[in-house]
Structure 1
Amino acid sequence: MKLVVVTAGLSTPSSTRLLADRLAAATVAHRDAGEDAIQLVEPLELRELATEIGRHLVTGFPPARLAAALDAVAAADGLIAVTPVFAASYSGLFKSFFDLIDKDALTGKPVLLGATGGSPRHSLVTEHALRPLFSYLRALVTPTAVYAASEDWGDAGLEHRIARAGAELARSMASAASAAPATTLSTRAAIAPRSLTGSITSVDPADGFQVIPFEERLAALRSE
């Protein structure tokens, strides 16, 4: 399973990137073995894509690096999205990137939300701004979102929230993967369309569906 991290921090080093890295580590730690292991994709630093994001917004065409980033998010099995708080909400760069995501790309995708700020007064930004945005995009948002104020770093409470959120995302990714519908021959046969004469027909002859004329099927039912 592929985990993609999107971080909108602007500085280097960045507390937003630090929170994103810790959330990713906590998620991977809960699924670090076996065939369901989580593969962490190289984090997407939006500050490095700022020019491309602006160009796409005004031209409608994504440059190659931005197109690759959008494709990575769409192909991910799970997503961690972290933004700094600007004016009591997510940053403009963060919002602009997700404005460019295909409208169906996040449907049913497990997402863990995070935010950083200088004051604990903005701790509800994850619930009042981030969660509604990703609910609109029909993402499967984890119950725990993590906000880290400047004074939270090094506090046991923050570490506990990070660990809990990572565990929730790992479980959500595993559940989504196991619930993905497997297209089998029997499933395809069960939903094969009927012709106007009532016979069962195959969408693809190579599938080996048996074509039974309506008259034969009716006769068989009458003899039972």
Structure 2
Amino acid sequence: MSRTLAVVSAGLSQPSSTRLLADQLAAAVRAELERAGEHVELVSVDLREHAHDVVNNMLTGFPPAALREATDAVTGADGIIAVTPIFSASYSGLFKSFFDVLDSEALAGRPVLIGATGGTARHSLALEHALRPMFSYLRAVVVPTSVFAAPEDWSGGSADGALRARIERASGELADLVRQRPTAAGPADPFALTTSFAQLLGRADS
């Protein structure tokens, strides 16, 4: 069976520790699913590339083509990995704005793994008081383990080993949820007819 994972990263710099964490989470989830015999397609959504389009969408109500492709990838995925830098004890404005432009029902029942990066481990609390409530409001199914990476987690010492353990635990939880779901049908076509021509003609004749 083929599964699609959307990997949303809201890092602003290049290179980005946020993107690095997102990529490590994605690789771990893919490995878990492939061990279970699943074929996995990873779709990366780097929000830095869509920042202007997100603002335009919020102002006009219409997503440009590139942003539409990104939102379709997220709403049509079997599972989502969402990682943001933490600024002022909360998610970034770009991260929040991207999920604001999605349809309010688009993530209902969708498995999500949340992660974040920040300058100090004290920011890790933002995962529970900001990110988890946001995705719960959107009725996504958030895995129990969230993953935060501070600068010391990339040092290669014991902190790095602790980060790897959190990544493995969280990736296993997301993989389990994805395996339990039927394959995602993909985003709905906003221009698709909900009534056939035969039904329309039938109504006209009545």
Counterpart for residue 112 of structure 1: 113
Distance in 2 (alpha carbons) for counterparts of 1:33 and 1:128 = 33
Distance in 1 (alpha carbons) for counterparts of 2:36 and 2:92 = 37
Counterpart for residue 64 of structure 1: 65
How do residues 118-129 of structure 1 correspond to structure 2 at under 5 angstroms? 118-129=119-130
Distance in 2 (alpha carbons) for counterparts of 1:169 and 1:33 = 14
Counterpart for residue 32 of structure 1: 34
Identity %: 60
Counterpart for residue 203 of structure 1: none
Distance in 1 (alpha carbons) for counterparts of 2:139 and 2:164 = 28
Distance in 2 (alpha carbons) for counterparts of 1:162 and 1:102 = 29
Counterpart for residue 168 of structure 2: 163
Paired letter, 1:170: A
Q: Structure 1: 5+ residue runs without aligned partners?
A: 181-224
Greater RCO (CA < 8 Å, at least 6 residues apart): 2
The match for 1:16 among 15, 18, 36 is 18
Counterpart for residue 172 of structure 1: 177
Distance in 2 (alpha carbons) for counterparts of 1:132 and 1:75 = 22
| 1:87 to 1:109, Cα distance in 2 relative to 1, 3 A | same
Distance in 1 (alpha carbons) for counterparts of 2:104 and 2:60 = 18
Counterpart for residue 151 of structure 1: 152
Which SS does the other structure have where 2:74 is aligned? helix
For residues 130-157 of structure 1, the C-alpha deviation after alignment (integer angstroms, 9 at most, x for no partner) is 0000000000100000010111113100
Which SS does the other structure have where 2:181 is aligned? helix
Counterpart for residue 52 of structure 1: 53
Paired letter, 2:120: S
Q: Structure 2: 5+ residue runs without aligned partners?
A: 185-206
**After TM superposition, which residue ranges in structure 1, 4 or more long, deviate above 3 angstroms?**
none
| 1:20 to 1:49, Cα distance in 2 relative to 1, 3 A | same
Distance in 1 (alpha carbons) for counterparts of 2:163 and 2:35 = 26
Distance in 1 (alpha carbons) for counterparts of 2:38 and 2:27 = 16
Post-superposition shift, 1:175? 1.0
Paired letter, 1:126: L
Larger Rg: 1
Post-superposition shift, 1:35? 5.5
Which SS does the other structure have where 1:144 is aligned? coil
TM-score for the superposition, normalised by structure 2:
0.84
Distance in 1 (alpha carbons) for counterparts of 2:39 and 2:141 = 20
Distance in 2 (alpha carbons) for counterparts of 1:21 and 1:15 = 10
Does 2:100 match 1:99? yes
| 1:33 to 1:159, Cα distance in 2 relative to 1, 3 A | closer
- Please report the RMSD computed on the Cα atoms of aligned residues, expressed in angstroms: 1.4
Paired letter, 2:83: V
Distance in 2 (alpha carbons) for counterparts of 1:164 and 1:91 = 25
Which SS does the other structure have where 2:72 is aligned? helix
Distance in 2 (alpha carbons) for counterparts of 1:75 and 1:81 = 15
Post-superposition shift, 1:38? 2.2
